[in-house]
């Protein structure tokens, strides 16, 4: 019994960490902040945090699709060629941005193990602190409380997150796609969003 009391006392002293120690701090962007992304091929784009979302500087009215993915993710690999075709089809009014997540791989690795073999030659950002900042910004904006499952996509137009089809419940009022999504579904949503 005495042993149990000692363990309990130690637990009270050391077992409860503050929230600050257990939950990683968010690196979400503040309104007005900008972040420059460099693709694995060296192309640069600048994104700006606006009230309620993000815009691409110089193309503020264009649609932005963020694809949070991993080079190890089989559904991500499978959908990459179709996403590339979608980017080519809507090149003048849509930017697809791939953000590698949950891994620390350099641009050479991403090119050799993802972009080339899966024809993913759209804008894939180099791994950087900006990727986490953008993922944190997105999840906070849409109030997504779970751990991100890959692939994970959001669509913005005019700096606002747009409703997309929830293929699991067949609704069109979701703020994100999760898992492998047929690009026909994405394109249908994209056509509607472009008219808004």
Give the model's pLDDT for residue 168.
Answer: 80
The single-letter DSSP state of residue 39 is B
Which tokens belong to 38? 């460099």
Question: Which strands sit side by side in the sheet containing 44-50, from one edge to the other?
Answer: 34-38, 44-50, 53-56
- pLDDT at position 24: 53
Distances (CA, A) of 31 to 12, 50, 139: 40, 5, 15
**Closest CA relative to residue 73, chosen from 106, 40, 137, 118:** 118
Buried b (16+ CB within 10 A) or exposed e, 154-188: bbbbbbbbbebbbeeeeeeebbbbbebbebeebee
Q: What is the 3-state secondary structure (H, E, C) of 116-127?
A: CCCCCCCEEECC
155 close to 63: Cβ distance less than 8 angstroms: yes
For residue 34, give every residue at least 6 positions away whose Cβ sits within 8 Å of its Cβ, in sequence order, or none: 46, 47, 48, 49, 57
Domains and CATH numbers, the chain: 27-195 (3.40.30.10)
pTM of structure = 0.85
Place of tokens 């002293």: 13
pLDDT at site 14:
35
pLDDT along the chain (196 residues), means of 10: 42 35 68 97 97 95 96 96 97 96 93 98 95 95 92 97 89 90 95 94
E strand or H helix at 191: helix 183-195
**pLDDT, tens digit (0-9, with 9 covering 90-100), for 65-91:** 999 999 999 999 999 999 999 999 999
The pLDDT value recorded for residue 15 is 36
Q: Which are the contacts of 27, defined by CB distance < 8 A and separation ≥ 6?
A: 129, 132, 133, 136
């Amino acid at each position: 019994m005495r042993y149990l009391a000692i363990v309990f006392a130690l637990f009270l002293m050391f077992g409860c960490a503050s929230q600050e120690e257990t939950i990683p701090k968010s690196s979400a962007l503040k309104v007005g902040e900008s972040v420059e992304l460099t693709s694995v091929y060296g192309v640069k784009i600048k994104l700006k945090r606006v009230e309620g979302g993000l815009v691409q500087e110089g193309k503020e009215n264009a649609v932005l699709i963020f694809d949070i993915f991993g080079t190890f993710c089989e559904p991500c690999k499978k959908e990459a060629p179709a996403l590339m075709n979608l980017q080519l089809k809507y090149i003048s009014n849509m930017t697809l941005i791939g953000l590698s997540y949950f891994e620390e791989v350099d641009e050479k690795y991403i090119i050799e193990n993802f972009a080339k073999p899966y024809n993913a030659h759209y804008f894939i950002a180099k791994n950087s602190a900006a990727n986490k900042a953008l993922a944190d910004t997105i999840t906070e904006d849409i109030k997504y409380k779970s751990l991100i499952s890959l692939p994970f996509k959001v669509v913005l137009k005019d700096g606002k997150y747009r409703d997309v089809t929830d293929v699991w419940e067949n609704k069109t009022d979701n703020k994100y796609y999760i898992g492998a999504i047929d690009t026909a579904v994405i394109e249908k949503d994209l056509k509607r969003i472009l008219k808004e």
